Chain A
Amino acid sequence: MPLVKDGAPIVDPYVKVEDDAALPDGPVLVSAARLAAEGEAVFAGNRPVGVAWPNDRDVAELAPHLPRLSLVALAFPKFRDGRAYSQARLLRERLGFTGELRATGDVLFDQLLMMTRAGFTAFEVKKAADAAAFGGALASYSIFYQPAADGRTTVREARAAAAAPAPVRVAAKG
């Protein structure tokens, strides 16, 4: 499954570690259960740690760990199951998470922009063609009606700017 991060394809540096396996050196991705069970222990050593967080569990539980987590992977079991959009916004806007926020599961072209707006920065894209067309997905709109986690200029802000003498910037950078 191709991984796109910050708009470019990358090789996933994180190793998914089973709950009963020893943690290898280098970046690891552990389950929510392991994080809950082992707590501090998973952060021992200097490796970057990511957690795969299910979409039916409150992300507020992650708060104490966030400063040391470098990756949170949220799940879209089906692309129609949109709980992780709310989780992403809460992680970014309320809990202040600034690390990699990764969309996993049924991640398709037509949802990439929405995911980006919700605060995702990395995407395990299901189809290779969609990964290749990533930039196009983000460029499909320049008009955004509501504030979200991505900081794109909203229509309300753009209208206010247009009414003022300053030059207008309609869209944010993708």
Chain B
Amino acid sequence: MYVYDEFDSAFLAQRVAEFRGQVGRRLDGALTEEEFKPLRLMNGVYLQLHAYMLRVCIPYGTLSAAQLRRLAFVARRYDRGYGHFTTRQNIQYNWIKLSELPDAMAALAEVGIHGIQTSGNCIRNTTTDPFAGATPDEIEDPRLYAEIIRQWSTLHPEFTYLPRKFKIAITASKHDRAAVRVHDVGLRLHRRDGKTGFEVMVGGGLGRSPYIGKTIREFLPEEDLLSYLEAILRTYNLGGRRDNIYKARIKIQVHELGVEAFAKKVEDEWAQIRDGALRLDADAIDAVRGHFVSPDFDTLEDRPAALVAALADPAFARWHENAVEPHKVPGHAIVTLSLKPVGGPPGDATADQMDVIADLADQHAYGEIRVAHEQNLILPHVRQKDLPALWAKLKAIGVATTNVGLVTDIISCPGLDYCSLANTRSIPIAQRITERFADDARIKDIGRLHVNISGCINACGHHHVGHIGILGVEKKDQEFFQIMLGGKANAKARLGEILGPAIPESEIVDVVERLVETYLELRTSPGETFIAAVQRLGIEPFKERAYAPR
């Protein structure tokens, strides 16, 4: 983990003090709402349907046990005892009072967490692979670069009032678990001639005009990372559209200029600054690396006797097959904790669950927790011999549902139950799908299938890149849902195709089930996944059956 030093801590304290002053000036009327709103947003504070919402940044998805306990404390003390983990590796509290926010933020800052730049038209927190530092398939730990970007982008004096929000994601492994092609800037770390660098993609994003990011540079040496980002941001800040909020993202600038012309502007700008103060020499990178403390891994063997014995239990074996992934260090494993219980709101965790998970991280996983963009938690460094004991404890708090990566591991935005922008609810749809597919043998047979639900066109539920994407639309105060088929968010990201007319709320779960049944019927073998079948067959056979009269 990155350990904040006295500079970072002093900075956070100054940020809390500044926000306390801003809240005070708003409450006494010195600041108008129009003046205050961008300031609160840049601290992660929204006004939603029922209350203020606080979005707390979990930098590149990494939490210590102490930080998770503090998140639990804030949930209990300032909210209603739970939080919601989001697709951007953040946590949201739904019931915060503005007058208490500075105290809540001070409590978080004490353990090095905050809501800075989790909203607003600025550079948002950089997201990355939740398996970073643990997975055997990574080239290097991408969090090092995410942290370098965090520092550069924090309160950047030039890029805090951009045309629109700006999201950066990094992956460093061949399995892209960070959806880098649907970000304003996506970075794919790779090596060339022994040097570390990045493929740079720009202009991806979902929302009402979804685009897949385009590569503007195949290999950017690591020392040039910040100067190149500064060149991209400057090109965007000066040239991005500000006349229409729906056309203000960088993806529209890239689209309107054309990717070659955009890339040329960036390269021209970069040529002027690449040798300047942002250059990251080896010492600068090592200095940040030095703040990352890696667990002191025990010397252990793979598949210890305790694990092998436990695998005789089919229930444990099923969980192990579903939720446990290989680790780069022998005798260890990566464990995903499903926050998608049957009938539960996707991504929610209670303060009690957070406390237990923090304790389990301390006991079995070197005190580290991750947040995945699929809205699950991860213990990245579990001793394999501890897996049976861990499983029992995870089951006891309801986070061992064996649906990781399966049809009921649904990504969902909060929807109209909480969100002031939403057109329809999304959580109840997710809940009913999980109830319909509650049978474990059935979801196992269906196999890998991502269902993503958004309650409006802003696409916080990433419906465009779900294998089955569901978008809520409201017609005359009735909820309808448009289905997209065939999207995916991985290295070969693509957007789903609209299946047909929107479906009434009462029928949406039936239609999802029909799509799944169509797949089961038409797949060549159980080895052909849902997404592979859709790609082979096209959407027609699915469309036919989804809309067939019953």
Contact = CB atoms under 8 A, between A and B. Distances in A.
Interface of A: 79-83, 85-87, 89, 94, 108, 110-111, 113-115, 117-118, 129, 140-148, 150, 154-156, 158-160, 163, 170
B161 to A, nearest CB: 3
10 contacts: A80-B121, A82-B162, A141-B18, A142-B10, A143-B7, A143-B10, A145-B11, A146-B154, A155-B11, A160-B283
Interface string B158-172: 111110000000000
A83 B242 CA distance: 10
Given A142-B10, A156-B287, A117 B157 contact: yes
Contacts of B35: 79, 108, 110
A170 to B, nearest CB: 7
A114 B283 CA distance: 28
Contacts of A163: 287
Which of the listed residues B161, B283, B284 has the most CB atoms from chain A within 10 Å of its own CB?
Answer: B161
Classify chain B's interface size.
Answer: 35 or more
A158 B161 contact: no
B294 interface: no
A86 B238 contact: yes
Interface SS of B by simple majority: helix
Nearest to A106: B35
A79 B35 CA distance: 8
Contacts of B153: 145-146
B14 A86 contact: no
A145 B152 contact: yes
B237 interface: yes
A150 B276 CA distance: 15
Contact of B7 (A79, A86, A170): A170
Contacts of A110: 22, 35, 39
Given A79-B35, A83-B238, A146-B151, A89 B158 contact: yes
A140 B25 CA distance: 15
A48 B38 CA distance: 37
A133 to B, nearest CB: 10
Given A79-B35, A146-B151, A156-B284, A85 B161 contact: yes
Contact of B242 (A81, A117, A154): A81
Contacts of A159: 5, 7, 287
A80 B38 contact: yes
